[in-house]
Amino acid sequence: MTTETITTEESTLTINGERLWQSLMELAKIGAYDDAATGLVGINRQSLTDEDREGRRLVMSWMEEAGLDVTVDQMGNIFGRREGTEPSAAPVMAGSHIDTVATAGAFDGCLGVLGALELVRSLNDAGLQTRRPLVIAAWTEEEGVRFGTDMLGSAVAAGRLSLDYAYDLVDEAGLRFGDELERIGFMGERPVRLDAPHAYVEAHIEQGPVLQQKGLAVGVVTGVQAISWQKVTLHGRAAHAGTTPTELRVDAGLAAAQVIVQVRAMVDSGLYGQLRATVGHVRTSPGLPSVVPDLAEITVDLRNPDDALMAKAEADLEAFLLELPHKQPGLRVETKRMAKTTAVPFSEEIQSAIATAAQDLGHETMRLMSGAGHDAQEMAAIAPTAMIFVRGQYDGISHNPREYSTPEDCAAGINVLAKAILQLCV
């Protein structure tokens, strides 16, 4: 095999879309199950399970076959390094995760890992060597469904969370993260704190409907929006629907409905920029047709790419909640913070590299915010970072066996990843 050093001018490389697709489908067999709700085959490969171990082993074997130097850190994060002509230069890193939720499809996370692998395979095929080293990362427990904290592996690697915090997390069965990591044989020796790479680029399915609606295969991700999750519990007074005059009621369900209507009104007002608001969970107690609810429990999920506008939305929602007992004396409002993250804007420079790569490859593209969390937001703390979104079908449904991106869109996204990475490796 002749190995040439790649230059900026030569940095176009067409990846093998068919091989990428085959790898995605091969990995998807691990953890496959028959999903009753959809009638499809779903994937359940949650972090640090036997299925996850099997998936990790397969991906590591592919990395080794591709000639990568494979190491595992103290969080079980897997790295595959392809040496550059200047080994001391900070590497360019590309990656994502292969753990899944309980009812997953084949693309969430896996596209980013196997896409980076396909880039390496294509470089090997072409006999090309980059100046900077290239590192593929497969992060542990991105989903957070088993141990309750998402982006766990990348968060510890990038320094936001401690190793001890991660090790002591327990799953619903009471099993400790550290013990399970040991059990599956992925307690690696590589120190978990990562030296800052030159850049980090993550390809991922969009998990939303925007690219499909706009008719675009790929998008440039501008950042991850701030997230605020609260549980709001409204305490009223149970009362008989027939015998209790309206003016004597303290209706917790009515108060909950007023909150739901209000958060949408806040979104529609335009006062909070690109605010998104969702009340996904609603429950009333006792839940009987003829009893005024004494309790209503809702979750309020707010998202905003702008931290200041998010803070304004949260303050105004709080003021609205404080007003509710004035509308219904006797009502008690309780709020509990479930999650809160600030907005993470991605590097303009890396966004430009992706946008230029897409343009050079003839893809019309757009910039869009990520609504969901990703490992890239952790890496953004230590390195210039951005993401490439790949269009999903069926309104971008994800965390569901119906999750699907076409072979063509996957190849398009990874060709953009390849071109951007090679540009950054020069």
Q: Which residues here bind its own copies, judged by CB under 8 A?
A: 206-210, 213, 225, 227, 229, 237-246, 248, 251, 253-254, 256-258, 260-261, 264, 267-268, 276-284, 286-293, 296, 299, 301, 303, 338, 370-373, 395-399
Can you read off the two tokens belonging to residue 34?
């028959």
Length of the chain equals 426
Which one, 102 or 187, has the nearer CB to its own copies? 102
Closest approach of its own copies to the CB of residue 14, in Å: 29
Report the C-alpha gap between 421 and 426 in whole angstroms. Answer: 9
Helix or strand (DSSP H, E) at 409: helix 407-425
| For its own copies, the closer CB: 194 or 232 | 232
39/362 with CB nearer its own copies: 39
Structure tokens at 233: 């519990």
Distance of closest approach, residue 161 Cβ to its own copies, in angstroms:
21
Choose between 84 and 392: whose C-beta lies nearer to its own copies: 392
Instruction: Tally Cβ neighbours within 10 Å of residue 400.
Output: 18
Closest separation in Å from C-beta 423 to its own copies: 27
- The residue written with tokens 């490796």 in the block is 425
State the alpha helices, DSSP H only, in 222-347.
252-269, 307-327
Q: Of 280 and 329, which has the nearer Cβ to its own copies? A: 280
Q: Tokens 């950054």, residue?
A: 424
Task: Give least dist CB 56 to its own copies, A.
Answer: 27
Nearest approach, Cβ of residue 257 and its own copies (Å): 4
Q: Where are the alpha helices (DSSP H) in 270-369?
A: 307-327, 348-360
Q: Which residues, 6 or more positions from 374, have their beta carbon under 8 angstroms from its beta carbon? A: 96, 142, 151, 202, 204, 224, 387
Nearer to its own copies, 240 or 319 (CB): 240
* Minimum CB–partner distance for residue 336 and its own copies (Å): 12
Q: What is the closest distance, in whole angstroms, from the C-beta atom of residue 341 to its own copies in the complex?
A: 11
Q: How many helices (H) and strands (E) does the chain have?
A: 12, 20
Nearer to its own copies (CB atom), residue 134 or residue 220: 220
**3-state DSSP assignment of residue 154:** helix
Helix (H, G, I), strand (E, B) or coil at 132: coil
